[in-house]
Copies of this chain bind each other. A is one copy, B any other.
Amino acid sequence: MLDMANARQPAVLRPVLVLPGHVVDHCTHCDVRSQSVCGALPAEDLAHLALAARSIKVGAGHMVFEETANADSFFNITSGTARLFKLLPDGRRQITGFVGRGSFLGLAAGTAHAISAEAITDIQLCRFTRTDLMNLLSDFPALERRLLTLACNDLAAAQAQMLLLGRKSARERLACFLVAQSRVISACGHPQMHLHLPMTRTDIADYLGLTIETVSRSFSALKKEKLIALPSASEVMLCDLPALLAIAEGED
């Protein structure tokens, strides 16, 4: 996707002749900016970003892009949740992650997407063409640095997930998932005990490398032990976060 072979060196900023107010506002007033790649740019450079970004919407259940498809677009999620996944020919699916507000989509080397992305809820995205993004990266080193940080974070998360998929029990996997989800929430506030899960049990199963039945049974088991409560299938209360954390890290 990012064809990084041909790095353009010096960075002469392209002149921006016309900057109508609403275009500037587009990025200046974006409330996810601080949490996303865009946060790497100082306020005075946002106009360049706003010119390249095109806001689009993808309805729940629709694809954003598909694995092996030519990666000529990159996206920044401004609202909603999407799943990232890979498929085997016979339909087996592995979800590699759930992404939401502020996440950058399309990060990968080469010209083809390594994974597919599909909207779970309706989502709002900022779309960048590959050429525009490459130009921005060359003009603003801070942007490229931020992207490298993001890639490294994604890599660390992927490594943690490999440990989960390769070596943890169903119970440990679910505890991991719940604790991680609670961190997503608490990132924008104090550590929350109450979660809303936008994804189905099937999604969770495909993320944790289990079947939907095993996920359901594991939910029920944690509930019986009073570590969680389930007001509804998509609502979870984490009643004993320390205990869940211990299970998640394999300390039992």
The chain A residues found within 8 Å of chain B, CB to CB, are 1-2, 4-5, 7, 9, 40, 86, 88-90, 92-94, 96, 107-110, 114-115, 137-138, 141-142, 144-156, 158-163, 165-168, 206, 208-209, 249-251
Instruction: List, in ascending order, chain B residues with CB within 8 A of A162's CB.
Output: 86, 94, 96, 158, 161-162, 165
Instruction: List, in ascending order, chain B residues with CB within 8 A of A156's CB.
Output: 108-110, 114
* CB proximity of A251 to chain B, nearest CB, Å: 5
Count chain B CB atoms within 10 A of each CB in A152, A160, A208 and give the residue with the most. A152
* CB proximity of A44 to chain B, nearest CB, Å: 14
Docked CA distance A141–B7 (Å): 8
Can you list 7 A-B contacts (CB < 8 A)? Answer: A1-B152, A7-B40, A86-B163, A88-B167, A141-B141, A151-B155, A154-B155
**Beta-carbon nearest neighbor of A147 in chain B:** B148
* CB proximity of A235 to chain B, nearest CB, Å: 26
Given contacts A94-B163, A158-B162, whether A109 and B1 have CB atoms under 8 Å apart is no
* CB proximity of A140 to chain B, nearest CB, Å: 9
Count chain B CB atoms within 10 A of each CB in A7, A137, A155, A167 and give the residue with the most. A155
Docked-complex contact A2 and B149, CB < 8 angstroms: yes
Q: How many copies of this chain sit in the oligomeric assembly?
A: 2
Docked CA distance A107–B250 (Å): 26
Docked-complex contact A94 and B148, CB < 8 angstroms: no
Task: Report the 7 A-B pairs with minimum CB-CB distance, sorted nearest first.
Answer: A166-B209, A158-B158, A165-B165, A109-B152, A151-B151, A88-B250, A114-B156
Docked-complex contact A2 and B152, CB < 8 angstroms: yes
* CB proximity of A72 to chain B, nearest CB, Å: 16
Given contacts A9-B142, A155-B154, A158-B158, whether A89 and B250 have CB atoms under 8 Å apart is yes
Partner of A158, one of B7, B107, B155: B155
Docked-complex contact A145 and B94, CB < 8 angstroms: no
**Beta-carbon nearest neighbor of A156 in chain B:** B114
Docked CA distance A232–B234 (Å): 53
Docked CA distance A156–B146 (Å): 19
Docked CA distance A137–B148 (Å): 11
Instruction: List, in ascending order, chain B residues with CB within 8 A of A250's CB.
Output: 88-90, 92
Instruction: List, in ascending order, chain B residues with CB within 8 A of A159's CB.
Output: 86, 96, 114-115, 158
Docked-complex contact A86 and B155, CB < 8 angstroms: no
